[in-house]
Amino acid sequence: MKGPVKTYMSGDPVSISPGASALEAFEAMLDRGIRHLPVIDGSGHVVGVLSIDDVRAALPYPVSLRQPLAPTQRDAALELRVGEIMTHDPETLGEDATLAEAAECMAARRIGCVPIVDEHGELAGLLSETDVLWAVATAGGAHRSANAPPGALESLVAELTRERERVRARLARRLAEEQSLEAQTREEPMDQAERGADVTLVAESIALDELAVKRLAALDQALDRAARGELTVCARCNGPIAIPRLRALPGATTCIACARAQALRCAPCAVAPATAQSRALLAARRSARSSASHLGSLS
C-alpha cells in the first residue's frame, strides 16, 4: 500500500452545507448509496461530517438507505438542519498523508471516514473505511477514479443473475406443487379441518410467490438492460442510477431524483410485464382457487 491518501480517496465527493435540511442530506446519501457526507461552508472549508448513523439517531423513526422516506416522515427531516446533527470540526488529513496515518486516525477515533483537504484547507476528497479496505484488497494496486469500486457493476450483474436463477427454480418448483395439488384436490377433496389448517399457510405462500413473480420480472428487465449496457443509465435524465438502488430495485429505470419527481407528478407507474413462467403460475393458482371455492360451495 504505497502512495498518499489522495491515491485512494474518492475525489470530488458530494458535500452538503450546514444549513441544508436532514432530508436533503438523507436523499443525497440514498441517491448515491453513500454513508457519509462532508459538510462545507461557503468557502469550501470542511466544517463537519454527517453520517447516516447521525441521521438515524436524530430522526424519530427507522431510516434505511434502501428506501425513501414516507411523505409523513419527510416533514420531521425537513425541520432538522445538518449543522444540528453533524460532527463539528472533524479530523481532516492532507492529501499527502499516508494510508497508514489515515487508518490509524480512523481506528483511534472510531470514525468511518476522514475528509481530505488541499493546501488551502479546502475539501479535496473523502477517504472512507471502504476506500481503506479497497486499498488493502488491491495492495498497492489500481488507482480509483470513480465513486463505484472497481467491478461494482459486474458484481451487481453477477449477483442479479444468480438471484434470477434461484427465483426461477423456486417458482418452477412451486408451479409443479400447485399443479399436483390441483390434481389431488380434484381426485380426493380435503375435509373441512384439513382445509382450515391449510388456509393460513397457503395465503402466506401465495403472497410470497406474488412477490417472487414481481422480483423475477424486475430481474429479467435489469439483465436485459445490462445486456444493452443501459442498466445504470437513467431513462429520463441519462444520469447514473446508483448501484445500491439497483440492488434493492433491479427494475428501476430511473435515478432516485427522477423517480421522486415522477412520483410527485403521477400515479404509480406500470409494473413490469410478467414472464411466461409467472403467467403459468398465476393461471394454475387461479384454477386451483376456483376449484377450491367450487368444493367449498358443495359442503
As a whole number of angstroms, the distance between CA 293 and CA 272 comes to: 30
- Residue range at the interface with Zn ion (CB under 5 A); choices 101-109, 110-118, 158-166, 229-237: 229-237
Q: Please, what is the minimum distance in Å from the beta carbon of residue 70 to Zn ion?
A: 21
114 bridge partner residues: 127
Q: Is residue 51 within 8 Å of residue 113, measured between CB atoms?
A: yes
| # of chain residues touching Zn ion (CB under 5 A) | 6
103 binds Zn ion (CB under 5 A): no
Q: Please, what is the minimum distance in Å from the beta carbon of residue 238 to Zn ion?
A: 7
Q: Please, what is the minimum distance in Å from the beta carbon of residue 32 to Zn ion?
A: 13
Which residue, 132 or 246, is less far from Zn ion as judged by CB?
246
236 binds Zn ion (CB under 5 A): yes
256 binds Zn ion (CB under 5 A): no
Element (H, E) at 291: helix 276-298
Phi, psi of 258 (to 5 degrees): -65, -40
As a whole number of angstroms, the distance between CA 288 and CA 87 comes to: 59
As a whole number of angstroms, the distance between CA 299 and CA 39 comes to: 69
263 binds Zn ion (CB under 5 A): no
237 binds Zn ion (CB under 5 A): yes
Q: Which of 217, 234, 243, 284 binds Zn ion (CB under 5 A)?
A: 234
> What amino acid occupies position 12?
D
94 bridge partner residues: 117
269 binds Zn ion (CB under 5 A): no
Distance of CA 75 to the CA centre of its chain: 23
List residues binding Zn ion (CB under 5 A).
234, 236-237, 239, 255, 258
